[in-house]
Amino acid sequence: MMKILTKNFGVPDSHLLKVARANGAYSSLGKLFAMKPEDAVQEVKKSGLRGRGGAGFPTGTKWGFVPKGTGKPVYLVVNADESEPGTFKDRAIIEKDPHLLIEGILIASHAIGADTVYVYFRGEYYRQWERFLSALKEAKEARIVGERPFIHAHRGAGAYICGEETALLNSIEGYRGVPRIRPPFPAVSGLFGCPTIINNVETLASLPYIIREGGEAYAKIGTEKSRGTKLISVCGHVNRPGVYEIELGMSIARFLAEHAGGTPEERALKAVVPGGSSVPVMTAAEALGGCLSYEGCEKAGSMLGSGGMIVMDESACMVRCLADIAKFYHHESCGQCTPCREGCGWIKKICERLEAGEGREGDLELMLAVADNMQGKTICVFADALAMPVKSFVTKFKDEFEEHIRFGRCPR
């Protein structure tokens, strides 16, 4: 399989400019700067590239929403606030090939006409922030990056909600990181009230290949609705956790066998979360019959999301897994919307009660009712990010939840 994002991952000192350039870094820029911005947008549209941050919205279409002739500056914001549990693929790009990201930033800036770029780092990504700054310094000294676009590396304070793009904008502006009501959408009125495009790290890292080889070449990879390659970060009950680049459309069964190395001691597979903790869980049968594409995961009752795969074998307690997820979302809720603020806390308490052997009749119905009153009823999709796991865990593994209530303990 052709490697687009990870081709330099195994190269010693691949984060250094001289090594990166020897392996093709910045080779797309000559072609890029001979193109009109609108032609670059069209090339990305032809590629079929979809945003790799989780939503999967077509990248070129998103760029096309930037209004013309407003007289306002246009901003590019890079979402490097990778905080989704189970997801660590952007971190690998920043650590191992930061020049690939910078090249992608230059491409996107040219295409949308951005003079200023903010790269928003997760607060805990201090080493990654330093590595990016070092790579940026090298690129400036080599005059690959000039005065425009001005690239500013901005560190957050470690809030998961700031991965939501409008909360991220508030954080950059110095306000509390809470989501904004939309419309207006960021492409029209975003950072400082100006047109703004927000792209994920992996999305931007895909651009150099698209410009260099052409959108049609990229579109030949993957499936009809899921073009190109995707990074999958896998953890949990697997023999080889890590970050792997796949061609979209690969079966989950093949991915688990060839890349993740199967489960420890060949224990039976129990469940798979394919796209980070916020997407519905798959049963073993659903996972082994599904594939890693946007439409494939949807058909199997889940979402590809960020590509953060969490694998659970037969030794896992699904009640404990959901309790851990609920604890995270309760802690990270910004509290702006009542259904999310109260709902996350309520579900966390019920899960903890079940785990402590104090579950009551009606607890499962109550959790599902609370999840129903959360999903789709808040400013952003944070509430949905807990509601969807709750609904899938409780319905697909109902027997296990009922056993906790009946026995007053975890039966495993």
pLDDT greater than 80 at residue 182: yes
Residue 261: enclosing H or E segment and its boundaries? Answer: none
Per-residue pLDDT at 257: 96
Closest to 192 (Cα-Cα) out of 173, 209, 168: 173
Q: Are strands 196-200 and 242-247 parallel, antiparallel or unpaired?
A: unpaired
Question: What pLDDT band is residue 331 in, cutting at 50, 70 and 90?
Answer: very high
Distance CA 60, CA 41 (A): 6
What is the average pLDDT across 364-377? 96
What is the average pLDDT across 335-346? 96
> Residue 87: what residue type?
T
Per-residue pLDDT at 411: 73
What is the average pLDDT across 199-211? 97
Question: What pLDDT band is residue 407 in, cutting at 50, 70 and 90?
Answer: confident
Per-residue pLDDT at 365: 96
- Could you tell me how many residues make up the chain? 412
pLDDT greater than 90 at residue 54: no
pLDDT greater than 90 at residue 69: no
Residue 191: enclosing H or E segment and its boundaries? Answer: none
For residue 62, which phi and psi values (nearest 5 degrees)? Answer: -60, -45
Per-residue pLDDT at 55: 84
Closest to 318 (Cα-Cα) out of 247, 195, 379, 402: 402
Instruction: Using a cut of 0.75, tell me whether the model's pTM lies above it.
Output: yes
Question: What pLDDT band is residue 1 in, cutting at 50, 70 and 90?
Answer: confident
Contact 119, 154 (CB under 8 A): yes
Handedness of CA 369, 372, 377, 380 (dihedral sign): positive
Per-residue pLDDT at 357: 87
Mean pLDDT (the chain) is: 95
Per-residue pLDDT at 408: 80
Per-residue pLDDT at 409: 76
Contact 146, 181 (CB under 8 A): no
Distance CA 81, CA 157 (A): 10
Query: pLDDT tens digit string along 21-44?
Result: 999 999 999 999 999 999 999 999
Per-residue pLDDT at 382: 96
| Residues near 327 by beta carbon (within 8 Å), at least 6 away in sequence | 348, 351, 352
pLDDT greater than 80 at residue 410: no
Greatest CA span in the chain, whole angstroms?
70
Per-residue pLDDT at 380: 96
What is the average pLDDT across 11-21? 97
Per cent of the chain over pLDDT 70 is: 100
- Helix, strand, coil shares of the chain as percentages rounded to 5? 45, 15, 40
Query: pLDDT tens digit string along 269-328?
Result: 999 999 999 999 999 999 999 999 999 999 999 999 999 999 999 999 999 999 999 999
What is the average pLDDT across 115-125? 96
Per cent of the chain over pLDDT 90 is: 94
DSSP characters over 95-132: HH-HHHHHHHHHHHHHHHT-SEEEEEE-TT-HHHHHHH
Contact 56, 133 (CB under 8 A): no
Domains of the chain, earliest start first? 17-219 (3.40.50.11540), 229-313 (3.10.20.600), 318-407 (1.20.1440.230)
